[in-house]
Amino acid sequence: MNIIHVLFRSSIGKKVTMAVSGFILFGFVVGHLSGNLQIFAHPDKINAYAHFLESLGPALWVIRLFLLVTLVVHVWLAAQLTIENKRARQKNYEKQVTLRATMASRYMRVSGVIVFVFIIYHLLHFTVRVTHGAEAYPTTILADGTPVRDVHSMMVLGFQNPVIAIFYLLSVGLLSWHLAHGLVSMFQSLGLRTRTWSRFLERVTIVVCVLYFLGNALIVVAAMSGKVRIQNPSVLGFACRTDCEVCGARTADATAETLDGSKESQS
Amino acid sequence: MKVTLRVWRQKDGNSEGNFEEYQTEGLNPNMSFLEMLDVVNEDLTLKGEDPIAFAHDCREGICGTCSCMIDGKPHGPENGITTCQTYMRSFKDGDLITVEPFRASGFPVQKDLITDRSAFDTIMQSGGFITARAGSCEDANALPIGKEVADLAMDAAACIGCGACVAACKNSSAMLFVSAKAGQLNLLPQGQPEKDKRVLNMVATMDEAGFGNCTNQYECSAACPKLISEEFISKLNRDYVSASVKKLFKAKSL
Amino acid sequence: MILDSKIPSGPLEKKWNNHIMDGKLVNPANKRKYEVIVVGTGLAGASAAATLAELGYSVNAFTFHDSPRRAHSIAAQGGINAAKNYQNDGDSVYRLFYDTVKGGDFRSRESNVYRLAEVSANIIDQCVALGVPFAREYGGLLANRSFGGAQVSRTFYARGQTGQQLLLGAYSGLSRQIGLGTVRMNANHEMLELVTIDGHARGIITRNVTTGAIERHSAHAVVLATGGYGNVFYLSTNAMNCNVTAAWRAHRKGAAFANPCYTQIHPTCIPVSGDYQSKLTLMSESLRNDGRIWAPKKKGDRRPADQIPEDERDYYLERKYPSFGNLAPRDISSRAAKEACDEGRGVGETGLGVYLDFKDAIDRLGENAIRERYGNLFDIYHEITGESAYKQPMRIYPAVHYTMGGLWVDYNLMSSIPGCFVIGEANFSDHGANRLGASALMQGLADGYFVLPYTIPHYLADIPRDPAPPTDHPEFAKAEEEVVNRTKALLDNNGKQTVRSFHKRLGKIIWDKCGMSRSKSGLEEGIRLISELRQEFEEDVRVPGAADTLNQSLELAGRVADFFELGELMCRDALAREESCGGHFREEHQYPDGEAMRNDEDYGHVSAWEWKGKNQEPELHKEKLEYEAVKMVTRSYK
């Protein structure tokens, strides 16, 4: 018996691994959302945050790799469990009623697969930045003069497309739904769900999932409806009407140059 | 009252099965479901047909032998009872009732509605016990056990080993059974010395028997004729994690 | 046939110890050379198989169920007696012994009962060690309740599922041995014949009920733990598959059958509701701790229970037996219920029922306390009748529950066939003419855990240490042929009536003629009717299907065929016993107040019947019951 066997071969081990990987991914999406919510602050806030993350360099890649491995493990095991579970009942019932399984739990595979597709698209959209033309990925300069990627405008631009916005809404909806079962389930799989607090846990989970969905939806809806606007003059094609120090300091050309340079060196 | 039965008929484990329909008449609502099947079988016998084979014994809900999937629910429409405790008053006059065997790879069909549930015994043989040689035990009251713990152990011990949990689970997982059996012994002070070994062995044997994995939907608990709580599954998971960690790090007391 | 009970000498309380000390032992290295077949995996069989294997014997265990855990011991509800005196209420080994002997109406073997009481305390220790979740008090100590026929609280229980928990405990021990490879478990195997070689039991013939395969198994000793024969009545609280076949086959091979007419009719069962009924359900005797039994005073009083005023109710047990009241022993309570109904004071649609009323207890303790104590029993009652016993009294009526009679055994639990041991309900030894509540579990486990393991070496140590006989021995071939022929005869008969219809008719005859109340003329008529019906069965039974496959009708047919022969013997035994004792009530022998009139002078013996061949009258042998420590007195619970 070794750790591989425990975590990837035994039935309970697999569920524990699902739970732990799920928990890590949950932690990530919560962190991700809280980062994204900075969109409601001054654009510099979120742009500086994104820049900070990018500037982590090797550490960023370690984190990315870790998250990627976690995701792959989560998805891989889900697939493996699905195959095993199908094999455990070769012949289905002619008639079977559902007694108490929640809808969320019964459609984990569907929600999981759609969310997985979404993640791939989302990475291509905002991380690899290949789904749109260059105009969708503008740059800007922070107040302290650092040239950075204009994540703020990128997001608003992205969600101004109704198809993408709806896809995002649907996906975070499904992810929330996925979590509605996943969160309680991970406590059960780890043996932490007990009668003393299972009811509480279920309620908290619903609250968390709803909040998570609302948080994400708020960003998308705010961008769609124009509540959050692009403030980058180079993206807007014109400078602010009123002169101010912030806008005055920004010259689109300078930013583009610097960033392009750094992009090349990175690749 | 009368009902139409749609019953799974299968000659033996190697044959393909199919559904057959049977009309019944003149039933009494106070008949048990199995007594209704008795009546059908008497007719079939007199007609020269093979009676429906179904597993049954005590007919009072404790031996765990009866095991029919009735209208898509193990043991029939009511909650917290077995097939033999299902009465015709739970159905409406003229109903069409579908009767199938419990289906799971771990429970191969032997004939008609009878399945082979010996996998449960194999699991028990791998660790579902406390080693206590007859004659070697201390006085029963020398080891006080709090009422709460004893009651909880009894909740788990109520399992009748019928397999409804496996039948109801969409993954055919045997976790509720294993967790009830291991949970009872793991809760009690007498069960502590063998706790880790018990959990690891029983789970390993369960995995080998071809049951599916737990998806935490708790259909098992809802279908359980003794309504055993899924909380025991949580406990089994916890005990398994703890036993595995100890084993992985070869933790030994001095 | 000579019946040597082999009761050890010495004072009662020393007998068992002396016997252990005087007994021969098998050295540990030799134990594994002895093959022991254990048939049946209920409390007695599972505990015996596990304990013998633990000791080192090579055990081959058999059950016709799909798992050892399904045996009908699992259905026992109320509890298990043990002389622990944890309640400080004056219990002792002697008192348990005395209560049991008295409860059995002085028709049991004194020395066996004393031994039973002696080892009873060990059973509780053993079961607790195995993880049996007995009910406990808040302080963590074991709880007790009282049962019929006792004035102390000595019954240990696990909710209303004591039998289940004890069986699962024994099963877990057995499972451990199976896992260790010391017990070979043959589930789905029904014993259909005993094989004797030179007069010694040396093996069995089984039929695999799943595949139909007939198999031969040999051993140095055969232990029958195959339960009671209550299903001869068709309607009983026994499980559908309980049968007498294994014991009956041994009987036909030379094992004396003792006291077959001693059957226990349990007073608190749910009444029969219709002709379709396949079995009866017991409501645990423990309910009588808090429930009060009554019938209306007026004949044919059809008013609902709550409309019958207090002064028009007859709490007949409290009236007749004031010191034991509702906890009078089973035979007495059953007969009293029958009397009330025979007088036309029965309740319910059929008039065959009396009330078991919890209203006073609920008023006194609250509904929750009652729910806590008996919740699952009330649920069972509700499921079956659709009525709530919290709201209206339960309707109960006596039903066949247990058979005190069984194969005759000596003090070593060996039958009159050397090498064939009989334990648990299948033997006759400990309960006399009536069994007290919560002592069947005690006896089954005592035999399996603490008696047989000590007594079986007495036999094994004396036989040559050769391997078990080969299964190609002519006796095996002969026995197998008998089985095959019997099976074939049943299948080829191709008559017009089903096995079940015959079983039902047989049960009705035995219930009417050899049930709660028996008479000379009734029994004579019974014998005639059974013999006629048996003939009809042999000519006209229809058994569908084939021999080489799972065939439930065939299984039942073989069992019912043996029930016919047993039923006849029961009537003969009842006829021969010209007295009333315990569960055996002869109308001719009663006191003016209707109490049973025993005749110790002429019937203070065990009736052991020897099989003389088909259609031959069996021969009666008598083992005189010697009471050294207690005096046979008229049993009184007044």
The closest CB to that of B30, out of C74, C274, C279, belongs to: C274
Query: Which residues of chain A make contact with B168, given a CB cutoff of 8 A?
Result: 99
Task: Compute the distance between CA of residue A150 and CA of residue B68 in angstroms, rounded to an integer.
Answer: 64
Contact check, Cβ <8 Å, A15/B237: yes
Kindly report each contact of residues C497-500 with a partner whose C-beta sits within 8 Å and lies 24 or more positions away, as own/partner: C497/C536, C497/C540, C497/C541, C497/C542, C498/B42, C498/B45, C498/B46, C498/C541, C498/C542, C498/C553, C499/C541, C499/C542, C499/C543, C499/C553, C499/C556, C499/C557, C499/C560, C500/B38, C500/B42, C500/C556
* B211 shares contact with chain A (CB less than 8 Å): yes
Buried/exposed A68-103: b ≥16 CB within 10 Å, e otherwise: eebbebbbebbeebbebbeebbeeebeebebbebbe
* Residue of chain A whose alpha carbon sits nearest to that of B18: A94
Are residues C195 and C218 in contact, defined by beta-carbon separation less than 8 angstroms? yes
Over residues C29-41, mean pLDDT: 96
Q: Which of C71, C210, C239 sits opposite B110 (nearest CB)?
A: C210
Close Cβ partners of B126 (under 8 Å, ≥ 6 residues apart)? B201, B202, B204, B205, C179
Q: What pLDDT, on the 0 to 100 scale, is given for residue A266?
A: 39
Please give the model's pTM, rounded to 2 decimal places: 0.94
Q: Where does C329-393 show beta strands of DSSP type E?
A: 354-357
Reduced DSSP (H G I as helix, E B as strand, rest coil) percent helix, strand, coil of chain C, to 5: 40, 15, 40
B229, B107: one domain: no
Fold of C492-576: Methane Monooxygenase Hydroxylase; Chain G, domain 1 (1.20.58)
In chain A, whose CA is at the least distance from the CA of B223? A99
Number of compact structural domains in chain B? 2
Of A2, A88, A99, the CB nearest to B211: A88
Nearest residue of chain B to residue C553 (CA atoms) = B51
Same structural domain, B122 and B234: yes
Average pLDDT over residues C91-105: 96
Q: Any chain B CB within 8 A of the CB of A2?
A: yes
- A99 to chain B, minimum CA–CA distance in Å? 6
Q: Which domain holds residue B42?
A: 4-111
Residue C305: how many CA atoms within 13 Å on its side-chain side? 25
pLDDT digits (tens, 9 = 90+) for C165-221: 999 999 999 999 999 999 999 999 999 999 999 999 999 999 999 999 999 999 999
The structural domains of chain A, ordered by start, are 3-85+104-266 (1.20.1300)
CA distance B120 to chain C (A): 9
* Strand order across the beta sheet in which B18-23 lies: B18-23, B4-9, B96-101, B68-70, B73-74
- Residue A22 corresponds to which amino acid? G
A29 pLDDT higher than 90: yes
Query: Would you give the DSSP letter of residue C114?
Result: H
**C628 in contact with B at a CB cutoff of 8 Å?**
no
Residue B254 included in any domain: no
- Distance of alpha carbon C150 from alpha carbon C325, whole angstroms: 11
Mutate to test the interface with C, among B32, B45, B75 (most CBs of C within 10 A): B45
Contact A191 B172 (CB under 8 A): no
**Range list of β-strands (E), B75-214:** 96-101, 109-111, 114-115
Q: Do C126 and B137 touch (CB under 8 A)?
A: yes
pLDDT at position A257 is 44
Q: Which residue of B has its CA nearest to C176?
A: B125
For C440-499, write each residue's pLDDT tens digit: 999 999 999 999 999 999 999 999 989 999 999 999 999 999 999 999 999 999 999 999
Residue-wise burial string across C69-105, b where 16 or more C-beta atoms lie within 10 A, e elsewhere: bbbbbbbbbbbbbbbbbbeeeebebbbbbbbbbbbbb
Q: How many CB atoms lie within 10 A of CB C339?
A: 16
Residues B211, B235 within the same domain: yes
B15 touches chain A (CB under 8 A): no
C and A touching (3 or more beta-carbon pairs closer than 8 Å): no
| Interface touch C239/B185, C-beta < 8 Å | no
At residue B56 the predicted structure's pLDDT band, cuts being 50, 70 and 90, is: very high
C265-401 sits in which CATH class? Answer: alpha beta
Q: Do B42 and C500 touch (CB under 8 A)?
A: yes
Task: Give Cα separations from C359 to A140, A204, C242, C270, C324 (angstroms).
Answer: 84, 44, 36, 18, 20
Whether residues B99 and B167 share a domain: the answer is: no
* A13 and chain B in contact, CB less than 8 A: yes
Give B-chain residues touching A15 at CB under 8 angstroms: 213-214, 237
Same domain for B242 and B140?
A: yes
Interface test with C, best of B79, B118, B130, B138 (most C CBs within 10 A): B130
Which CATH superfamily is C39-262+404-460 part of?
FAD/NAD(P)-binding domain (3.50.50.60)
Name residue C125's amino acid. D
Decide if C129 and B132 are in contact by the 8 Å CB cutoff.
yes
Residue type, C1: M
Of C122, C175, C281, the CB nearest to B124: C175
Q: Is the pLDDT of residue A62 over 90?
A: yes
Which of A88, A184, A188 minimises the CB distance to B172?
A88
Strand partners, C136: C142
How far B196 CA sits from the closest chain C CA (Å)?
Answer: 16
Is pLDDT of B186 > 80? yes
Q: How far is A210 from chain B (nearest CA, A)?
A: 21
Distance in angstroms (rounded) separating the CA atoms of residues B24 and B3: 6
Name which of B207, B223, B239 is nearest A99 (Cβ-Cβ).
B223
Q: Which of B81, B111, B141 is a domain's end point?
A: B111
- Tens of pLDDT, residues C520-556: 999 999 999 999 999 999 999 999 999 999 999 999 9
C133 close to B (CB below 8 A): yes
Q: What is the pLDDT of residue A246?
A: 47
Average pLDDT, chain C: 95
Q: How far is A21 from chain B (nearest CA, A)?
A: 15
Hey, what are C391's tokens?
A: 């709201």
Q: What is the DSSP string of C243-311?
A: -SHHHHHHHHTT--EE-TT-EEEEEEEPPP--TT-----B--GGGGGT-EEEEESSTT--S-GGGS-GG
Residues B134, B235: one domain? yes
Is B216 close to A181, i.e. CB distance below 8 A?
yes
Q: How many CB atoms lie within 10 A of CB A216?
A: 22
CA distance B76 to chain C (A): 13
A188 touches B: beta carbon within 8 Å? yes
Residue B121 to residue C122, Cβ atoms within 8 A: no
Q: What is the pLDDT of residue A84?
A: 96
Residues of C in contact with B32 (CB under 8 A): 278
Nearest to B216 among A96, A185, A194 (CB): A185
Rounded Cα gap, residues C161 and C166, in angstroms: 9
pLDDT > 70? residue B251? no
Q: How many CB pairs under 8 A join A and B?
A: 149
**DSSP label at residue A124:** I
Q: What is the pLDDT of residue C593?
A: 87
Looking at the fold, whether B141 and B220 belong to one and the same domain comes out as yes
Is any Cβ of chain B less than 8 angstroms from the Cβ of C241?
Answer: yes
The segment(s) of chain C belonging to CATH 3.50.50.60 are 39-262+404-460
Is the pLDDT higher at A250 or at C153?
A: C153
Q: Which of A1, A14, A90, A99 to mutate to test the interface with B (most CBs of B within 10 A)?
A: A99
Q: Which residues of A touch B211 (CB under 8 A)?
A: 11, 88
Chain B residues touching residue C239 (CB < 8 angstroms) = 57-59, 63
Residues in chain A, overall count: 267
- Computed over every residue of chain B, the mean pLDDT equals 96
Examine the domain organization and report whether B158 and B134 are in the same domain.
yes
Q: What is the CATH number of the domain that holds B84?
A: 3.10.20.30
Residues B55 and B94 in one domain: yes
Better-predicted residue by pLDDT, B147 or A250:
B147
Question: Do residues B73 and B128 both lie within one domain?
Answer: no
Q: A238: pLDDT confidence band, cut at 50, 70 and 90? A: low
pLDDT at A254: 41
How sure is the predictor about C60, in pLDDT bands with cuts at 50, 70 and 90? very high
Q: Is B147–C187 a contact, with Cβ atoms under 8 angstroms apart?
A: no
Question: What is the DSSP pairing of strand C189-197 with strand C200-208?
Answer: antiparallel
The percent helix, strand, coil of chain B (3-state, each to 5) is 40, 15, 45
Q: Is position B106 within any domain?
A: yes
Q: Nearest by CB to B231, which of A106, A184, A195? A: A195
For an interface test with A, give the residue of B71, B197, B216, B241 to mutate (most A CBs within 10 A): B216
Cβ atoms of B127 and B208 closer than 8 Å: no
> E-strand spans in C79-213?
80-81, 155-156, 183-186, 189-197, 200-208
Q: Which of B85, B111, B137 is the last residue of a domain?
A: B111
pLDDT for the residue numbered B252? 65
Contact A3 B216 (CB under 8 A): no
Q: Do B90 and B127 have their domain in common?
A: no
pLDDT in tens, C549-580: 999 999 999 999 999 999 999 999 999 999 99
Give pLDDT tens digits for A113-144: 999 999 999 999 999 999 998 888 999 998 88
Mean pLDDT of chain A: 88
- B148/B101 same-domain check: no
Q: What is the CATH number of the domain that holds B146?
A: 1.10.1060.10
Assembly ipTM = 0.97
Q: Looking at residue A97, what is its pLDDT?
A: 96
Residue where one domain finishes, among candidates B111, B137, B166: B111
- Percentage of chain C beyond pLDDT 70 is 100
Q: In B, which residues are within 8 Å of C128 by CB distance?
A: 137, 140, 143, 190
